[in-house]
Amino acid sequence: MGRQMCELCKDRRAALIRPRNRQQLCQQCFFVAFENEIHKTIVDNRLFKPGERVAIAASGGKDSTVLAHVLTELNRRHNYGLDLFLLSIDEGITGYRDDSLETVKRNEIQYGIPLEVLSYKALYGWSMDEIVREIGRKNNCTFCGVFRRQALDRGAAKVKADKMATGHNADDIAETVLLNIIRGDIARLSRCTAIITGEEGALPRCKPFNLGNLDCLFTYAYYKKLDYFSTECTYSPNAYRGYAREFIKDLESIRPRAILDIIKSGESFRFALTTKMPEQGTCEKCGYISSQKWCKACVLLDGLNRGLPRLGIGRTRGKSSSATGIQTDNSCSDKQTSIRNDKRILKPSLDF
Ligand SMILES: Nc1ncnc2c1ncn2[C@@H]1O[C@H](COP(=O)(O)OP(=O)(O)OP(=O)(O)O)[C@@H](O)[C@H]1O
């Protein structure tokens, strides 16, 4: 059976089916539709102001590579007037981050925007390889997630960025909503669906792909032949987030709107006025934002430097994670789950 014509231009043969609305499009119309959606998100939410210096948090992975590509294009096409640059954190994970950083270095040339790299070793005196040797593979994602968040802020401050954009997509945000519910972390639950956070602080962060689903980003990267790194982190097979990811993917296979509806639920929560929220202050040790005397990175680092790496990982019984400042497995995924899902996302987007 021959292929359908593109539903938009009605001129070229359709090359793909958009997962969100089952629209059959040719490559060119898909690129235009996707880029227009991101442009609309940026304009409707006033994500950037002309003249701003914007750090694109670039891991070398698919989503942040699409982000770097699309932001560069839109900045030029619509005269946003942004001063864009790539910011990468080298966690020091042999066979993973060293390879993905090579990708980001090529992106620097491909997109013509400068790259700043900051390493855990230089910032904290420890690489993730060294931390894993101390702590083992079970809790290492806690260190990595806490250190990365702070390292990105420090990197952005170093190069005087006004704002940071990350490649978090709808799947990531739905996982975070569920994880925050499971952990009873009301403070994070109340802000994790926001497209822009930290506006009251020195460095607001935004997520232009907040409603973009994984399949769409994958299809865009695939057809644009973007240069990205697709291997999962060697240290994340036990990460808690992987279970949430698998659960959400199972739900999505039964009910395609599940991801957007989890986000919608997260956005619609209203918190009782009696809910105790942590008060933001600054860490006595390093000056970074913290609701505790010491920020989480300083607690973890102190444990490492004293030869007691588990010191900062335990959870105080009866206290919520926002009260203790504990944040576990905050960014990683399960390797097998991701590979399984990568196979699955190929189906709706590319098969005819
Ligand atoms: N080492 C890093 N350096 C800079 N930014 C990072 C790094 N790791 C993650 N990020 C940012 O956080 C976002 C979400 O992180 P996540 O762990 O899902 O990334 P990933 O799966 O490695 O790559 P991607 O999201 O780009 O496909 C990324 O899209 C990127 O913007």
ipTM reported for the complex, 2 dp: 0.98
pLDDT in tens, 83-127: 999 999 999 999 999 999 999 999 999 999 999 999 999 999 999
Higher pLDDT, 309 or 342: 309
Confidence tier at 232 by pLDDT (50, 70, 90): confident
Its pTM stands at 0.88
Looking at the structure of the chain, the number of domains it has is: 1
- Ligand 1 site residues (CB inside 6 A) read 57-59, 61-64, 87-89, 91, 148, 166-168, 172, 331
For ligand 1, what atom is nearest to the CA of residue 90?
1
Query: Of residues 240 and 316, which shows the higher confidence score?
Result: 240
79 within some domain: yes
| 9 found inside a domain | no
Give the lowest-confidence range in 120-124, 140-144, 235-239. 235-239
Does 342 score more than 70 pLDDT?
no
* Mean pLDDT score across all residues of the chain: 86
Tell me, yes or no, whether 226 lies in a domain. yes
How does pLDDT run across 147-166, given as a tens digit for each residue? 999 999 999 999 999 999 99
Cα–ligand 1 centroid distance for 247 (angstroms): 21
Q: Compute the distance from residue 245 Cα to the ligand 1 centre, in Å.
A: 16
Domain containing residue 33 = 16-350
Tell me, in angstroms, the distance from the centre of ligand 1 to residue 74's CA: 21
Residue 202 is predicted with a pLDDT of 83
Taking CA atoms only, the protein residue closest to ligand 1 atom 28 is 167
213 inside domain:
yes
Residue 2, in any domain of the structure:
no
**Closest protein CA for atom 1 of ligand 1:** 89
Angle at 188 between CA 182 and CA 191, to 5 degrees: 125
- Tell me the pLDDT band of 66, cut-offs 50, 70 and 90: very high
pLDDT-above-90 percentage for the chain: 66
C-alpha 286 to ligand 1 mean position (Å): 24
Domain contains 100: yes
Atom 23 (ligand 1) nearest CA: 61
Residue of the nearest CA to atom 25 in ligand 1?
A: 63
Residue 55 CA to ligand 1 centre (angstroms) = 13
Asked if residue 29 belongs to a domain, the reply is yes
Residue 323 sits in a domain of what CATH number?
A: 3.40.50.620
